[in-house]
Amino acid sequence: MRVLLIVGGWSGEREVSLSGGKQIQKSLEELGHEVDVFDPALEFKELFARAKACGFAFINLHGVPGEDGLIQALLEQAGCPYQGSGPKASFLAISKASAKMALESAGVPTPRWELLTRSGDELPADFPFPVFVKPDRGGSSLAVGRVETPDELNQALRAVFSGHEAALVECAAEGPEVTCSVLGDEALPLILIKPAQARFFDYHCKYAPGGAQEICPAPIDPEMTRRVQELSLLVHHTLGLTGYSRSDFIIENGAPIFLEVNTLPGMTPTSLLPQSAAQAGRSFTKLIGELMELGLSHFSSPSRLHPGSQA
């Protein structure tokens, strides 16, 4: 099959996308596919023609475009199946505030939060510190900062607003961080994340050699493992995600607290999802093949659309 491998893009996570794309291309070729590498930052107007010439698209974009559902909507318009979640679910999940609203209504515990915009919104007077300040739509922990006191908040907000329209401010949950990937309808083994020096799992920890220790399976008790896996599946299904996702949690005072979900998890060989898949008996190449199978199966369903992709 001819596969359109979509990598790069124009977000701050471009280099991460390109890095993962090299290994995905190798695996697709090992599976016998012909690969057409497509970078929307350089060739955007060619997307329809290139997609129509392929039997499948594998999306490895991070941030916008990619995780916001735009590329998925265009691929559906072109009639080209792809892996992962559809336009509506992707659009809902990329906004941390919107996802938290939907998930709180489903009973998923999350830290107290507020959405602040450039219009001058302020935190309620009783909002407790320390807090994390994050772009509402963004990933890889870019522009994320921990703020200890109200006096430091404006500086952190300025850092976010320099490149984003809205900021999520949430109370800092304290405790070990774990992440759980979902593949199909299966929750994979958990990973415990221990940053080497930083106070949280920031961009440097995620991508610098030795930046963090990632232990899989996570050395936590079976009951807690099951609870995190159950919550990860609840997140996945509540937001209408398909194919795969990865949810991050802090275990605070013996209870898992949801942080955020990633609809297009990193796909370098050392990324978190491939590590969990390997622990579950799937090589990187087998994982790529399974994601393609899930995408093709979903696209061939009677509606030929992902859940919620129609307004």
pLDDT at 134 over 90: yes
Across residues 130-138, what is the average pLDDT? Answer: 91
Which of the listed residues 145, 171, 197 is the one where a domain comes to its end?
Answer: 171
pLDDT at 259 over 90: yes
CATH code for the domain of 38: 3.40.50.20
Mean pLDDT score of the chain: 91
Residues 178 and 289 in one domain: yes
Report pLDDT for 137.
87
The pLDDT tens digits for 82-118 are 999 999 999 999 999 999 999 999 999 999 999 999 8
Residues 280 and 207 in one domain: yes
What is the 3-class SS of the chain, one letter each residue?
A: CEEEEEECCCCCCHHHHHHHHHHHHHHHHHCCCEEEEECHHHHHHHHHHHHHCCCEEEEECCCCCCCCCHHHHHHHHHCCCECCCCHHHHHHHHEHHHHHHHHHHCCCCCCCEEEEECCCCCCCCCCCCCEEEEECECCCCCCCEEECCHHHHHHHHHHHHCCCCEEEEEECCCCCEEEEEEECCEECCCEEEEECCCCCCCHHHHHCCCCEEEECCCCCCHHHHHHHHHHHHHHHHHCCCCCEEEEEEEEECCEEEEEEEECCCCCCCCCHHHHHHHHCCCCHHHHHHHHHHHHHHHHCCCCCCCCCCCC
- What are the two backbone dihedrals, phi and then psi, of residue 297, each rounded to the nearest 5 degrees? -65, -45
pTM of the model: 0.89
Residues 136 and 203 in one domain: no
Could you tell me the pLDDT band of residue 209, with boundaries at 50, 70 and 90?
A: low
Q: How far apart are CA 261 and CA 99, in angstroms?
A: 8
CATH code for the domain of 247: 3.30.470.20
Residues 79 and 131 in one domain: no
Across residues 8-31, what is the average pLDDT? Answer: 95
Question: What range does the domain containing 55 cover?
Answer: 2-83
Is omega for the bond preceding 217 within 30 degrees of 0, making it cis? yes
pLDDT at 75 over 90: yes
Does residue 305 form part of some domain?
no
Does residue 90 form part of some domain?
no
Does residue 140 form part of some domain?
yes
Would you name the residues annotated as active-site residues? 13, 140, 207, 246, 248, 260, 262, 266
Across residues 244-261, what is the average pLDDT? Answer: 97
Could you tell me the pLDDT band of residue 198, with boundaries at 50, 70 and 90?
A: low
Q: How far apart are CA 14 and CA 76, in angstroms?
A: 23
Q: Which has the closest alpha carbon to 243: 106, 72, 49, 27?
A: 72
Across residues 227-251, what is the average pLDDT? Answer: 98
Residues 190 and 272 in one domain: yes
Does residue 299 form part of some domain?
no
Residues 137 and 201 in one domain: no
Residues 201 and 282 in one domain: yes
Does residue 100 form part of some domain?
no
Across residues 185-200, what is the average pLDDT? Answer: 84
Of residues 277 and 200, which shows the higher confidence score?
A: 277
Report pLDDT for 163.
81
Q: Which has the closest alpha carbon to 231: 195, 259, 193?
A: 259
Could you tell me the pLDDT band of residue 3, with boundaries at 50, 70 and 90?
A: very high
Q: How far apart are CA 129 and CA 148, in angstroms?
A: 6
Does residue 308 form part of some domain?
no
Report pLDDT for 165.
87
Q: Which has the closest alpha carbon to 260: 88, 111, 130?
A: 111
Residues 190 and 284 in one domain: yes
Report pLDDT for 310.
38
Number of domains within the chain: 3
Q: How far is CA 111 from the centre of its chain?
A: 18
> Could you give the maximum distance between any two Cα atoms of the chain, in Å?
60
pLDDT at 223 over 60: yes
Residues 237 and 272 in one domain: yes
